[in-house]
Chain A
Amino acid sequence: MHTGIESPKGVWWKPVHRSEKIWITLAFGWCLVLFAMMPFWHLKGGQNASGIRHRVEPQAFLERAEEFIRAYQVGEDAGFPVVEPPVGSDIYLVARMWNWSPVLRLKRGAQYTLHLSSLDVNHGFSLFPLNVNIQVVPGYDYGLRVTPSEAGDFRVVCNEFCGVNHHNMVGRVIVIDEAVAAGGPDSGAANPGGGR
């Protein structure tokens, strides 16, 4: 027997004691369980960040978002356009220093494809109070299929540091409880984007 600061002499590649074998087997088994859980929950679970991913020039993303706002704007809130897009459509949320635009008015139970991107630096999309968090990276369009499952007044908090006014960067999403005629495709099913 020697300590960890003494040099082992001769052959130290010796058989493992039973207690260590049992522990390593248990630990390895647990690691296999964890390993299996990852793909399992991806297929079975309801909150994955898988979506449509494209590279996009910030200017091009801004143009798409502005066109979207022009087409479906219904009002204004705290200086931001309020947009009520048709069920099943592509919707845009633009992140920039230091605001989220526009304010989205969505219908409960309808599916949308939410496009997130940034015009300048990294931002963090954190949907409050649901606590769903997505990284928003400039140059990348993250298209998440979302089906709001609860009506309510939600906030989008920026949770990636983006400069000195980072903590004031809050957006708004309103989900209204209105019967959706046909329902979006897959409405009521798992909502991969996490937004409900």
Chain B
Amino acid sequence: MKTGFRTCPATSLKVHAQADALIKANAVVATVMLLVGGIAAILVLLTRWQAVHLLDATWFYRVLTIHGMNMLIFFILFFEMAVLYFAGPVLLNSRVPAPKLAWSSFALMVAGMLLIQYTMWAGKADVLFTSYVPLRADPNFYLGVILFAVGALLTVTLFFASLVVARNEKTYEGSMPLVTFGALTAAIIAVITLGHGAAIYIPTWLWSLGVMNVDAQVYRMVWWGLGHSSQQINVAAMVSVWYLLGALTVGAVVLNEKVSRTAFVLYVLFISMASAHHLLVDPGMGSAWKIWNTSYFMYMAVLASMIHGFTVPGGIETGMRIRGYTKGAFEWLRKAPWGDPGFSSLMFSIVIFGFLGGITGVTFGTEQINIIAHNTLRIPGHFHSTVVGGTALAFMGVTYYVIPLIFRKKVAFWGLAKIQPYLFAIGMTIFSMAMTFAGSFGVPRRHQDISFANAPFDVQFSPAVDLVMGIMALGGLVAALGGGIYILVTVWSVFFGEPMDDREVEYVEIRPASGADQPTASAVL
């Protein structure tokens, strides 16, 4: 196993050989998952577009399960593991503690993922992403989720360990960078999330083996402690990537560490409340429970996002002004590097997440609007603008820096890479807005046939629905094209790309700074 450090020529950060290797492994698996999930996305889209209506019912629900798991769990989480190895060891000039354990946790995640893939493709787990009990999947499906979650939890624990190691070995001066702090909040939320995951998937696995019973309503409550909180990992990770991309693309500054860090802490404290809004029209909870949990604290997490929505663009503006773009109110924006896919991804991610995702999400969290939105297409309309237009796009943007900085390869097809964020962002905006409109006509989500050809009673949607669904398909295909270009560019660059320089990357052993052999309690804190 390679050890030692190389010095990054662009950032002069000291990069540990194992950090390099683990980031590469996680990023490559994430991209493969994105490809599988993306193909599933196109199949789902072409079925919901009634003019094509591609898949039969069995395969539609199967592929929809595959789409959800590959995108929302595998792609996002493998990528986030890479983000953790970057935000921890790399940004802190530190080593990966316990690299063997790191590789074991990666192997565990891959094993869990393969087990889930097998059950899904074999038709043993047609239960969709939420797998609501008592709809039953093969026990190995739940076991796969447990293995995957344990692997993710181990990686998160190693991230915490890397912070302690870096502190002890004095690999950096002062406080940890803001991006690392943001990743730390994402990791803390991940622990909360995976705790809920254990609390629900272990009983569910035992239920599938016939050992115990799981109440359908209790499942929904605890599952959403996993299902929604996991989206908050994405939010915290995405906002960290915003700060990261701002720094890498235009040298964006942190306006005020106190404000940005406090906003991240608000995520940790209040975000789990957002889970309750999934249960606003459920029979198991009373109105007082619903109103308390969805209104009181959830808005403090909303406040956090609103703060970042100000400080990230504000930091970009200040960074540009420092570089001399001071004419008028908007020269900093006009002269920004719009041809840098990292920068355009960042800006689109902020706008799509903030406006489309944020506004729909907050409004659906109210009782009155939830009752007209619950389980309609408005819901996927919302989360495709948060987690796809927001998180996935930010992750795509940062990939254009991961390729040269970590893989040490030039980004291939630069012309295509430049337009990729535009295609993806515009397509995803049209797609999620059309979904939202269709949902407001009452079009259900997760539905194979809204012509109701074989139903006992006919349902005639407004003719506008056909139009809106057509627009949705168009937007979705444009976004899929953008996603396809992303995969082409990244895979080509990584495997067949031109190296950044001819020299072989050399890793040099660096002795830890003095004081490393006598860690003190204060050093840990």
Contact = CB atoms under 8 A, between A and B. Distances in A.
Interface of A: 1-10, 12-14, 16-17, 19-20, 23-24, 27-28, 30-32, 34-35, 37-39, 41-42, 45, 47-51, 53, 78-80, 99, 116-117, 120-122, 124, 126, 128-142, 155, 157-172, 194
Contacts of A140: 216-217, 283-284
A35 B283 CA distance: 23
22 contacts: A3-B252, A4-B178, A4-B243, A4-B260, A5-B179, A19-B314, A20-B311, A24-B310, A38-B295, A49-B367, A53-B284, A79-B456, A121-B132, A131-B376, A132-B371, A133-B281, A133-B374, A137-B283, A139-B215, A159-B376, A166-B448, A167-B448
B133 to A, nearest CB: 8
B103 interface: no
A3 B178 CA distance: 8
Interface in B422-459: 440-442, 444-450, 452, 454-459
Nearest to B182: A4
Interface string B270-296: 000000000111111011001100111
Nearest to B278: A135
A131 B294 contact: no
Contacts of B247: 3-6
Given A137-B220, A140-B217, A50 B287 contact: yes
A34 B302 contact: yes
A126 B217 contact: no
A12 B257 contact: yes
A68 B129 CA distance: 37
A8 B91 CA distance: 13
A140 B215 CA distance: 10
B61 A27 contact: no
A158 to B, nearest CB: 8
Size category of the binding interface on chain B: 35 or more
A170 B456 contact: yes
A143 B220 CA distance: 19
* Of A6, A30, A50, A124, most B-chain CB atoms within 10 Å: A6
Given A1-B318, A5-B244, A12-B258, A78 B457 contact: yes
Contacts of B368: 41, 45, 47-48
Nearest to B315: A4
A6 B259 contact: no
A10 B283 contact: no
A159 B444 contact: yes
A9 B257 CA distance: 11
B283 A50 contact: no
Nearest to A117: B283
Contacts of B287: 42, 48-50
A39 B291 contact: yes
B215 to A, nearest CB: 6
A135 B282 contact: yes
B444 A157 contact: yes
Contacts of B220: 122, 135, 137
A137 B282 contact: yes
B102 to A, nearest CB: 22
A20 B57 contact: no
A81 B370 CA distance: 31
Contacts of B258: 12-14, 16
Contacts of A35: 295-296, 299
Given A3-B251, A4-B244, A7-B175, 4 more contacts: A1-B322, A4-B182, A164-B58, A167-B450
A110 to B, nearest CB: 21
Given A137-B216, A167-B448, A157 B459 contact: yes
Contacts of B303: 24, 27-28, 31
A27 B256 contact: no
A79 B132 CA distance: 29
A5 B11 contact: yes
Interface in B166-196: 172-179, 182
B392 interface: no
B256 to A, nearest CB: 6
Nearest to B287: A50
A159 B459 CA distance: 13
B83 to A, nearest CB: 13
Contact of B91 (A5, A41, A131): A5
Contacts of A78: 456-457
A137 B417 CA distance: 47
A3 B180 CA distance: 12
Nearest to B446: A161
A48 B285 CA distance: 13
Contacts of B251: 3
Contacts of B318: 1
Contacts of A99: 456
Contact of A12 (B175, B283, B284): B175
A142 B282 CA distance: 8
Contacts of A80: 456
Interface string B315-335: 100110010000000000000
A9 B174 contact: yes
Given A42-B287, A78-B456, A3 B246 contact: yes
B373 interface: yes
A78 B296 CA distance: 47
B7 interface: no
Given A137-B220, A167-B448, A126 B442 contact: yes
A170 B452 contact: yes
B174 A139 contact: no
Contacts of A37: 295, 366
* Of A3, A10, A157, most B-chain CB atoms within 10 Å: A3
B362 interface: yes
Interface in B123-141: 126, 128, 130, 132, 134-135
B247 to A, nearest CB: 4
A139 B175 contact: no
B307 interface: yes
Contact of A34 (B175, B295, B319): B295
Given A4-B243, A7-B175, A141 B283 contact: yes
B256 A135 contact: no
Nearest to A9: B174
B295 A122 contact: no
Contacts of B295: 34-35, 37-39
A25 to B, nearest CB: 11
* Of B91, B294, B300, B446, most A-chain CB atoms within 10 Å: B446
A42 B362 CA distance: 16
Contacts of A158: 444
